[in-house]
Structures are given as C-alpha cells and as structure tokens.
C-alpha cells in the first residue's frame, strides 16, 4: 500500500491535527486553561506590541505553550496506555513533559514582561 502524497496528504494531516486539538480540549483540563489564556492574551498582544516583531514574539510564546501541552498530553496518553502499575520511568516521562510546559509558561512571562518593560509599561 502506497502512502498518500501531495495535497491529499496535507488534507488528511490537517484532519488528524484538528482531531488531536479537539481531543486535547475535550480530555485535558490544562489544555483548556491554556486555550482560555491564549484567547485573553491574543487580543491583548495587539495592544501591547509596538512592532510586528514584538507581536510575533508575544503570540509565538503563547503558541509554544499550547504546543508543549499537546506534546505533554501525548506523552501522558502513551504512558497511561502502557499500564496502570507504578513505573519509575513512566512517572519520570510525565514529570519531564510537565516541566517542559512549566518552562513554556516562564517563557511567556519573560517575553511579555520584557516587551512591556521595553515599551515603558502598559499605560
């Protein structure tokens, strides 16, 4: 069986991506909170940014957290699928995914704080 290529591949891949985003929103409360945060910060980015580069950094930092949360959720799903008994490596994998999200949130704070500082504050 040959793999789908070209525009058809892009079409199917987009469908799988949308399915993954819907699943994360339905089953992962942390992803929901981060989406709600994005829905607040995205419009705020137009007010805070004074240049296109600043706007791109503000929005990209928020998107990074969503990406990291999707990866963390994927790790957790695979670990949970592999069994319910305690396993040190499984716990470490979950903790590492969580740490990645935490660093992403720190990046948001640094980027937004730095840009707000450089622009002389909010008012």
What whole-number distance in Å separates Cα of residue 93 and Cα of residue 114?
31
Is residue 26 marked as binding?
no
Is residue 30 marked as binding?
yes
Q: Which of 45, 69, 101, 104 is catalytic?
A: 69
CA 107 to chain centre: 12
What whole-number distance in Å separates Cα of residue 11 and Cα of residue 28?
25
- Spell out the alpha helix ranges (H) of the chain: 6-27, 29-48, 52-82, 88-118
Is residue 31 marked as binding?
yes
Looking from the CA of 22 toward its CB, the CA atoms found within 13 Å total 6
Query: Is 69 considered catalytic here?
Result: yes
Is residue 94 marked as binding?
yes
Is residue 97 marked as binding?
no
Is residue 28 marked as binding?
yes
Annotated binding site for a divalent metal cation: 28, 76
| Catalytic center residues | 69
Binding site, annotated residues: 9, 16, 28, 30-34, 69, 76, 94-95, 98, 112-117
Q: Which residue numbers belong to the known binding site for substrate?
A: 9, 30-34, 69, 98, 112-117
């Amino acid at each position: 069986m040959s793999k789908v290529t070209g525009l058809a591949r892009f079409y199917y891949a987009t469908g799988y991506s949308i399915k993954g985003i819907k699943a994360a929103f339905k089953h992962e409360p942390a992803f929901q909170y981060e989406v709600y945060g994005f829905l607040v910060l995205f419009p705020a980015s137009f007010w805070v940014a004074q240049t296109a580069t600043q706007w791109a950094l503000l929005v990209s930092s928020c998107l990074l957290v969503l990406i990291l949360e999707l990866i963390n959720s994927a790790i957790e799903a695979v670990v949970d699928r592999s069994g319910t008994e305690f396993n040190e490596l499984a716990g470490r994998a979950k903790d590492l995914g969580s740490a990645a999200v935490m660093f992403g949130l720190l990046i948001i704070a640094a980027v937004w704080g730095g840009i707000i500082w450089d622009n002389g504050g909010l008012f």
